[in-house]
Structures are given as C-alpha cells and as structure tokens.
C-alpha cells in the first residue's frame, strides 16, 4: 500500500472509530433519561428513550457499513486489523447498552403513577445508575486513549454494581405481602439487571482496549462474565 493510500486508510479508520465511540454519548443520554423517567414515573420521557434508540441502531449500521467498505478497499494488517476488529466489538456492546436502556424505559408504564416504592431499593438503583454511567463514560475514554490501566479499573466499579444487584434482589424478597409492592419490586429487579448488563458491556469495551494495545485478548477478572452475552 502506498504512503498516500495508507494515510487515507488511517483517516477513514479513525473516522469510523470516532463514529463508534460517539454512540456512547447516545447511550449516556438514554441512561440519564431512563433513570429520570423511572424516578418521576414519566411515561412520556420513557417513550422518548424507546424512540431514540433508533439513533444507536442507525450508528451501529453505519459503523458496520464503514468497516465493510474499508475492508473492501484496503487490506489492514497488524495493529490496524486489531482496531478494525475491536471497533466492531465496541459498537456491538454499545448497541446492547442502548437496548438495556430501552428495557428499563419499557418497565416504567407498568407500575402506574404512584407505585408503593421501597426507598432502600430505590437508593440502590440510583447508586447502580451512577456507577453504570461512570463505567460507560470511562470505557469511552479508555478506548479512545488506548489506556489499559483505565480499562482495567472498570472491573473495580463493576464489582460494586454486581454487589448492589444482589442486594436489590435480596431486599425485593423481603417486601412483604402487598401484591402491588411485590410487583413493583420485581420490576426493580429487572431494572437492576439491565444496569448490571450495561456495566458488563462497558467492561467488555475495556477488554477490547487491552486487545488493541497488547494484541492479546483476555477477559478481565470479573465474575459476572460467566453469564453469556
């Protein structure tokens, strides 16, 4: 490949990577909105989260098409090929995180405007959401900066999300005999599960960061990864 063609290839690849990582901002917006809708039982805002998922899906398709077009014109090797492969994995995990935000939004109308909430569960959900948001943002920075240390640090925060997920499940079992509160608690278990999956996908992006830098794929030390994605 001539120097000019190599330069064009790198520019196109960098642009595709920016497109992929830019979709993380869409996920953060969706996560913020879905949790705000949950807090205020805002069905209209929840509907907006569901509708806006088309942006993430569209970006997923754009990145895939961009990669296929690039591969058709060029033959990347070594580090460039690793970046191409990693970007495809990254956009897949971003699309999945968007789907989890949609899953949260779809649960909101099920409980009505004044469900019998449990404050301990709500507080744990809020803490999980803050951690998930931090993980998603950090995964973007880690990949963009090729920072393996930042990527590996994702596991520490994800462990806290896993702990809260289990605590919410235990608390939900203690909600008592009120049928409406039990149903609400069951929905919060599902919300917590969505947040836990968002954290896991952020860790997956961190693993792709390490792959690009080192050339070796390895799963970080995260017990949650025994669950199939």
Domain residues of the chain, as ranges? Answer: 3-226
H-helix or E-strand containing 156?
A: helix 154-173
Tell me the pLDDT of the chain averaged across its residues: 91
- Assign 6 a pLDDT band (cuts: 50, 70, 90): low
Task: Give residue 16's pLDDT.
Answer: 96
CATH number of 3-226: 1.20.58.220
Mean per-residue pLDDT, 70-85: 85
More confident: 161 or 75? 161
Mean per-residue pLDDT, 58-81: 88
For 140, list phi and psi in degrees, rounded to 5: -65, -50
Say what the pTM is. Answer: 0.90
Q: Are 212 and 146 in contact (CB under 8 A)?
A: yes
Residue 115 has pLDDT above 90, yes or no: no
Mean per-residue pLDDT, 76-88: 89
Residue 3 has pLDDT above 90, yes or no: no
Which segment of 76-80, 121-125, 222-226 scores lowest on mean pLDDT?
222-226
Mean per-residue pLDDT, 24-37: 96
Task: Give residue 222's pLDDT.
Answer: 45
Q: Are 67 and 84 in contact (CB under 8 A)?
A: yes
Mean per-residue pLDDT, 30-49: 95
- Assign 145 a pLDDT band (cuts: 50, 70, 90): very high
Place of tokens 């469900």: 115
Cα–Cα dist 30/46, whole Å:
9
* Helices 179-214 and 78-107, packing angle to 10 deg: 170
- Assign 134 a pLDDT band (cuts: 50, 70, 90): very high
Cα pseudo-dihedral 56, 61, 64, 66, rounded to 10: -100
Q: Are 99 and 57 in contact (CB under 8 A)?
A: no
Task: Give residue 5's pLDDT.
Answer: 60
Which segment of 69-83, 112-126, 194-208 scores lowest on mean pLDDT?
69-83
Cα–Cα dist 9/70, whole Å:
8
Q: Are 24 and 140 in contact (CB under 8 A)?
A: yes
Task: Give residue 109's pLDDT.
Answer: 92
Return all residues near 123 (Cβ < 8 A) that are at least 6 apart.
none
Task: Give residue 223's pLDDT.
Answer: 41
Cα–Cα dist 182/203, whole Å:
32
Mean per-residue pLDDT, 104-128: 90
Q: Are 200 and 161 in contact (CB under 8 A)?
A: no
Contacts for 65-70: CB closer than 8 Å, 24+ residues apart? 66/12, 66/15, 66/16, 66/19, 67/16, 70/9, 70/12, 70/13, 70/16
Residue 117 has pLDDT above 50, yes or no: yes
């Amino acid at each position: 490949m001539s120097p000019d063609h190599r330069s064009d290839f790198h520019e196109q690849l960098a642009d595709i990577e920016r497109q992929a990582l830019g979709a993380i901002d869409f996920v953060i917006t969706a996560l913020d909105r879905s949790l705000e809708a949950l807090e205020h039982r805002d069905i209209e805002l929840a509907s907006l989260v569901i509708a806006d998922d088309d942006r993430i899906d569209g970006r997923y398709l754009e990145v895939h098409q961009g990669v296929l077009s690039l591969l058709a014109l060029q033959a990347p090797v070594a580090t460039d090929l690793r970046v191409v492969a990693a970007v495809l994995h990254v956009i897949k995990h971003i699309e999945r995180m968007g789907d989890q935000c949609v899953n949260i939004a779809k649960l909101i109308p099920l409980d009505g405007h004044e469900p019998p909430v449990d404050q301990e569960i709500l507080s744990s959900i809020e803490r999980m959401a803050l951690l998930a948001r931090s993980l998603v943002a950090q995964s973007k920075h880690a990949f963009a900066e090729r920072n393996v240390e930042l990527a590996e640090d994702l596991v520490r925060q994800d462990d806290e999300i896993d702990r809260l997920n289990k605590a919410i499940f235990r608390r939900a079992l203690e909600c008592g005999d009120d049928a409406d509160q039990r149903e609400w608690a069951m929905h919060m278990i599902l919300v917590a599960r969505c947040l836990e999956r968002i954290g896991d996908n952020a860790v997956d992006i961190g693993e792709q960061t390490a792959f690009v830098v080192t050339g070796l794929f390895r799963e970080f030390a995260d017990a949650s990864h025994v669950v199939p994605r």
